[in-house]
Structure 1
Amino acid sequence: MPFYKVISLPKPLALPSVGGARRWWQRLTPHRQDRVAMLAPLAAVMLFFAAIVAALGYLRLEEMDREQEAVQRDVEYTQQRLRLRLLERQEQIMRIAREVSGRELDADDFRLRAASMMDQYPEVQGMAWVDDKRRTRASQGMGVTANGPMQASGDVLAKGQRDNGFSLTREVNQPVYIQHPLAKEEEPLLQMYVPLSDRGRFGGVLLTEYSVDGLYRYGVPSEVSARYAVSLQDASGALLAGTSIPARKLVGRFLPWSNPANEYSMAVSPVGGGLVIRAQAYRASLGVIGSGLFWLVSALSVMTAWMLIANWRHTRRRVQAQQALMSETNFRRAMENSMLTGMRAMDLQGRITYVNAAFCQMTGWTESDLVGRTAPFPYWPDGDREHMASRLEEEMHSNTAPGGIQVRVKRRDNTLFDARLYVSPLIDAMGTQTGWVTSMTDITEPNRVREQLSASHQRFTTVLEALDASISVAPLGSDELLFANKLYRQWFGVQAGGHLQLVAEAGMPHTPPNDEASDSVDSFAGLPTTALPDSDTESAEIFITALGKWLEVRTRYLSWVDGRLAQMVIATDITTRRLAEEQAATQAERAQTSSRLITMGEMASSVAHELNQPLTAINNYCNGMVSRIKAKQISEEDLLVALEKTAKQAQRAGQIIQRIRSFVKRSEPNRTLSEVSTMVAEAVELAEIELRRFNVRLNHYVAARLPMVLVDPILIEQVLVNLLRNAAESIDMALRQTAERIVELRVLPRHIDNKPVIEFSVQDTGKGLAPEVMARLYEAFYSTKADGMGIGLSLCRSIVESHLGRMTAENIYNGTEVSGCRFSFWVPLAEIGTLTYKEPPAPQPNLG
């Protein structure tokens, strides 16, 4: 079903009446009336001229259409002539190709046939027989030798990209026309490739070269070339043969006085887009455009329009100049009133001729109060009038400094402020000096800030000079000293030698390594100087022999005020601190010995009971032997057995005494590679005396094949004995049953913070640690025992940390009830390669 769209036609516009036009004219402003009065005649002239141009343009377009149709017919006719000529040659060459494929022609016959065709048809320039191996079997008119390779120098297929035609012909197995891009000094040629068949397969090509100029001469009809500029072109539009009229600009092409060349082009079949025939009509006459009426009307219209436009432009320029002058005046006035810098102008006699609003606002005087006044001016301070008069005299003689002069100015309310004046000559448009112009800036606040900065710098310098640390700054790679405080100058003088000495002895490089020592290359190029002030500070402790002092040296890289990379060194005298540390170390050693003595004192009753058993046994054995010897009732064997048992009891008592002596003996800390199992066994032997007194059973387990540790074995044994005694006392205070009075000692290898360590843990079955006790567990002189001194756990923790280890304590829970406490500490293994040690044998666990 067809679709119909209903279009409503607009209503005809109602023309305004004469009265309406008069009312519209009266409503316009005078300025718009002038514009309409100027533009109406110009619009009427332009409409008349447009009507004449439109009529003549229509006639010209009709004439151009007829010429275009004629050109198109003649080009199509010429293309048919060229097409028939090429098809005739193609048919003859294909006949030769069939004879060559059927082996009816040899090379000599081919050359005879090719020469005959070239003589008969002048557009044929040469022919060649190329086999499937791209070798030229025979050629005529191409300047090549037979049996040569296709790509050889001078071969017909070696020019440019002519081998593309061979490949294309082989692919499509049809005659192919190739028009290669035109090279410099190369005659335009059209190549035709005809495939050869050798028993059903591709046997090569028969190459024929046409002269494009020959095709133009013998293929284009003379009556066509007489009427048009006929040319043969390639696909890119390059001229191959014939003549061509240069293209005209498109501007004015379709105007009635223009006479563009009618042209038409089409591809030549069977060549295709590679060969295009183009015909352009000669511009012989102007047609109707040559009439005098057109030119007369055009000249009169242009003259009238030019006069109207000139008058309108003149009036417009006057209005624009007036508006620009008003805008410029308003802009300059607004700029002068908006400036924060005061401006003052004086004539050559020193009379004020102009002041801006900023000058009046600074001084508090109005423009009427200042303009026309001469020195002394009302804004001069009373006490500085002579000074200001001399300054004014210098201004009048151009003797002011380029940086301006600083003066004091009095406001109308008699307050003063600091100002800086800049004076320059006032030059008019003719280049003549008419006076002086002065700019004034209030610098009261900058002066205040400058004074504050100066005071701040002085305070900063005073603080640095009063520091009890030496501070020096020097650029990297240089012996220049940028800054040094008072203490540095007292110690090292004013040279950078002390700075470099501190850096060198602290092992902190002052010059980074540079492999390009022979080149003048900046070693610090590319360093991130902006991030240097945020880098970490390096520190070291050194002894300066010349000063006899221990110094703590800290260095830091920073970017100096001039942008250079610098190094700051802070050296603090720590001689007193080092002496205090040495005394503290001595006191710590004494405290360790004292702690062991205290421990033995607390274990005195247990040790006495432990020694009483072997001594009692020795006494009994000796009394028994004496009695039996007197009664002569003992044999030699029984006597030996009794003496051996007596010796064993004496040896046992001696071992107990020797162990106690080695434990409480005062000695310097001696860290050696020690076996863990040996330290644990000796500590357990000492602790079991006290554990038996509290009726506590000890279960200990030592992992097999533990490596040696670099420790002081006596100190580690002291920690173990203290922890085992504390565990036994905790169980005794908890009043546990006999089956629950157990202490577990476990020694296992661990990995803490990705490093191998040996962990010792002591776990009891007491009541654990209260939160308030846990918070103060390692506090010195704090103890939960009534008779405790509070140095045991604090000392144990110090011993462990001196061996680079850590100690922890935690409660053991059975549900919500505390069922015991576990103390653990670990020490790191000795580094392989620093010391050698023999791996100990695997100890067996002792559960007794």
Structure 2
Amino acid sequence: MSSTALPIARTVRGAVSGLRSLRSLHSLWQRWFLWVLLAVLVVALLATVVWLAGRHEVEQVQTVLDRDTADAVSDLRSGLQRNAQSLRASQAVGLDRERWPVEAAALLREHREWLRLEWRDGALRTLAAVDTPYRRRVFEDASRGPEQPDVTLACAAARKTGAPAYSSSHYVPFTPSGGLEVMELCLPVEGGGYLVATYSLRDTLIELVAPTLTRGQEVAFTEADGTRLVAIGAARRVGTRVFTAQQLVDLPGATLMLRVDGWRAAPDLFPNLLTGLVTAISIALVSVLVLLARDTRRRLRAEHDLADALAFRKAMEDSVITGLRARDLQGRITYVNPAFCEMVGFSAEELMDHAGDVPYWPTELAQEYRLRQNQRMAGGVPPREGFESIFMHKEGRRFPVLIFEAPLINAQGAQTGWMSASIDLSEQRRIEELSRASQERLQASARLATVGEMASLLSHELTQPLAAIASYASGSLNLLRNAGGGSGGDHGEVAMAVRRIAEQADRAGQVIRSVHDFVRRRDRTREAVAPQALIEAVLPLVRLQARKLGVRVDVHFEERLPRVQCDRTLVEQVLLNLARNAMQAMDLPELSDRVLQLRVSHARAVGESSTALDKTDLRRWIEFSVADRGGGISEETSARLFTPFFTTRPDGMGLGLSLCRTVVEQHGGALAYEPNRPRGTVFRFTLPTA
């Protein structure tokens, strides 16, 4: 390596080393910055706590001083009121010039705060006066007269209100030096005159203010502007803090301020136990936080991993369509996923903490579910393959569910409740019902095909026997017509019977041909037939069955009915089938009034009948109705009434009403039914007019 490259390499290595040092310093600064900030915050917290504690102590001292001052003012007012009452009591038995000085001297001995008691007339001239025995005489009699303005104002106010009044305070000088601050109390005397008591403000403070207030405090009377009048108590010590409280002493005619100054040393660095305790805890907090730093980092990593796991589990629970529900050992719901809430229609807040009956239990099954839940809470083991149940949606509809339950086990291995997975079976049941209905339709179609083949075979095989019956009946009639013997009545009845045999044989042949053409889908020849003829054709067979069942047959025709365009044979079969069904519906032991009503009329409006016809086409339709007074048709039977092979009779085939509706619809009409009043059912069908 050349001599020039070595310095360059050293320079590069130095730059890289310096860059690494800068990065390590930056990382070290970031690491210790939060700890330094924490230490600063702890010191600030300690200083704040000490300051708040000192301030709290100051506020407590001031509060106590304010309370003591208020109590002192209260005591002062009470003492002044007692003094006024004592002065008023002295004149209760009247004032006597000889006796009054003795009574006044006794009052002055009881009240040290009084300097002098005077009895004055209405013009404020002194009639008698007594000075206190506890101090030398302060006043000269010559100076105590009507010319005193303070006493004059106080007595005028007392006379006006009829109550004691006070004068403003004034200063009385001594000779050669000194003086006193005094105040007069003027009390009006009944019959004229006044009693005047002179107060020494200093002695008033000493006697009437609580003695405990003056220990370590200075008590003073001041004017409203703050001018100090008198003061007593301890003097202020050097290095103490002054606490001041003032209260107004409002007297009748005079106003004074009671001021109390308290001396207290400044609070220490640790003024109370709370501050010292907080300081110790703060120091311990720093030590504990250092120890918890590593644990905090580990916890943060664990919380991050746990948050990822919870988010993953939440995503899985929200994506599944299975309803999940957790309950504790008391049966309260503690968790539901969105799929369960959507299944029952209730929100999670509406389901949480429900004990006992839950809102998605059907009312009629609540007792059964309650017993099952009690068994589960008592330790009953649910079946591993699950069990079916019924839930109720918030809207009221019921739906089947398949429930799988398993115990909830915590990290310590103890059971804390039960976890259930619910699967809505509504769609599965619907698909199964559609499959079953499809199978039934396929089976019905196969049976109809078989019936068609049977009908074709029967129509082919029965044609010849019926033709032979008709031929024999015609031959019998010819023989009876040519025979000459026998009774005329018997001969006629036999001929009538044979004629009926021939007619019914011919009718049976027509029915078979009609069925044959119906199955083969051949067009039948329709003709114009009177509605009365259709009814009269089936009446003999209807009346025959009616006599057996004890049914009365009523027939009603409207006037001027037009002819109908129809296949006569098939329509007669429809009428006969409906009449037979109606009579069989009345074959009940409890029915005594059995009436079959056959009615033919013009078609009515849609609102008056179940026949759905346009009002403009009513004139082109004739309505036939068959009414009975049986037990009616239930809702379950009504849903499948026209279904092929459905019947309520053990000997029925279930094809009658289905074929009747098919025949009527092939004619363009409609077959319907409605309840009869007061009981029974009415079947109506329409046919077009010719």
**How high is the TM-score relative to the length of structure 1?**
0.24
Bigger helix fraction: 2
**How high is the TM-score relative to the length of structure 2?**
0.29
